[in-house]
Homo-oligomer: A and B are copies of this chain.
Amino acid sequence: MVKPLLDTLSGAADPEGPSPVWLMRQAGRYLPEYRALRAEAKDFVRFCLSPDLAAEATLQPIRRFGMDGAILFADILLLPHALGREVRFVEGHGPVFEPLERPDEVAVREGWQQVTAPVAETVRRVRAALPAETTLIGFAGAPWTVLTYLIEGGGSRDHMRARQWAYGNPAGFQHLTDVLVETTVEYIAAQIEAGADAYQLFDSWAGALTADGMERWSLAPCVAIATALRERFPDVPCIMFPRAAGPMLTRFAVNGAFAGIGIDSAVSPAWAATALQPHAVVQGNLDPALLITGGEAMRSGVRDILAGLGGKGRHIFNLGHGITPQTPPEHVAELVALVRGEA
């Protein structure tokens, strides 16, 4: 069975073929059918944990645009939610937690997997409905990024409290990281057992750490997760996305634990081709702003990325960050056609 995206990650892709394509947050508010579906469950956590709704959200962009990859519809904060750190999503504001006061407030809590069981059920339903050639991508948040939300009590501009915990109380921070490594392995394993072909670790705030901090709190725990999962599922590749990691991206690429490395839009495709692509498949990196703008600006951005990274069987086309709600769906259709050489 040819699965262009999975085959690229496993090194079996035809180098003559186009770069496979999927887009971060391809299921989401820019799609009118998604907004209609969301109206059926106002509470976002309940929406994510309803397999029928989450499976439908996952499939919507595939039906419309036929990307090579379908990313499970879920949220990186469902895992800490299952560990007893209850998350609420406040309209127009984002996720809110009771901020952590002490590291020992988080532990592997008995029965947490019952809370996330609907996520695996979503994967099962998506797999059953998905075209056979479409790669199903599971995901989780990287421990560092998840911890920024728990420590700050939600999103924050500079993650200053989390950084101070990491630098000022490394033993406590290691405990928190260990809990997340252990549970993330099980959380992803359940997704794989339910039918995920590959998975991505999102470290959206990696770039808020120092280079040293990134080694310890971003790279090391993600290597631990990917290594444990590879032992159990040797054919299921990991895509690591350490956003804004800058020159530290090379440390992730040469590690060997990750089949793919996601790059943000500030990274030059030419640099990534030289520094990263010899070591890992590179995924990225169109600016979501160009997908809103469309037209020649978007086309030129796509051409530059394909010229730098495409044509070697070592590139997955994606954005450098998630699609935003104001994106015209017709630009997404044109983008997919462009990547495939059909526009």
Contact = CB atoms under 8 A, between A and B. Distances in A.
Interface of A: 157, 160, 163-164, 167-168, 170, 207-214, 244-249, 265-271, 275, 287, 289-290, 292-293, 295, 297, 301, 304, 320, 324
A287 B247 contact: no
A82 to B, nearest CB: 28
Contacts of A324: 160
Nearest to A265: B210
Nearest to A269: B211
Q: Chain A's interface: helix, strand, loop or mixed, by majority? A: helix
A209 B287 CA distance: 8
A157 B157 contact: yes
Count chain B CB atoms within 10 A of each CB in A157, A246, A247, A267 and give the residue with the most: A247
A237 to B, nearest CB: 24
A263 B60 CA distance: 43
Nearest to A159: B289
B269 A168 contact: no
Contacts of A245: 246, 266
Contacts of A249: 246-247
Contacts of A170: 297
Contacts of A275: 247
A266 B293 contact: no
23 contacts: A160-B324, A163-B287, A164-B292, A164-B293, A167-B293, A168-B293, A168-B295, A208-B266, A211-B266, A211-B267, A211-B268, A211-B269, A212-B268, A212-B304, A213-B287, A214-B266, A244-B246, A246-B266, A246-B267, A247-B249, A247-B267, A247-B268, A247-B275
Contacts of A290: 167, 210
Contacts of A292: 160, 164
A93 to B, nearest CB: 12
Given A210-B290, A211-B267, 16 more contacts: A164-B292, A164-B293, A167-B289, A167-B297, A168-B297, A210-B320, A211-B265, A211-B266, A211-B269, A211-B271, A213-B287, A214-B266, A244-B266, A246-B246, A248-B266, A248-B268
Contacts of A207: 207, 244, 266
A227 B342 CA distance: 45
A289 B151 CA distance: 15
Contacts of A270: 211
Count chain B CB atoms within 10 A of each CB in A163, A214, A289, A324 and give the residue with the most: A289
Contacts of A211: 265-271
Nearest to A292: B164
Nearest to A166: B289
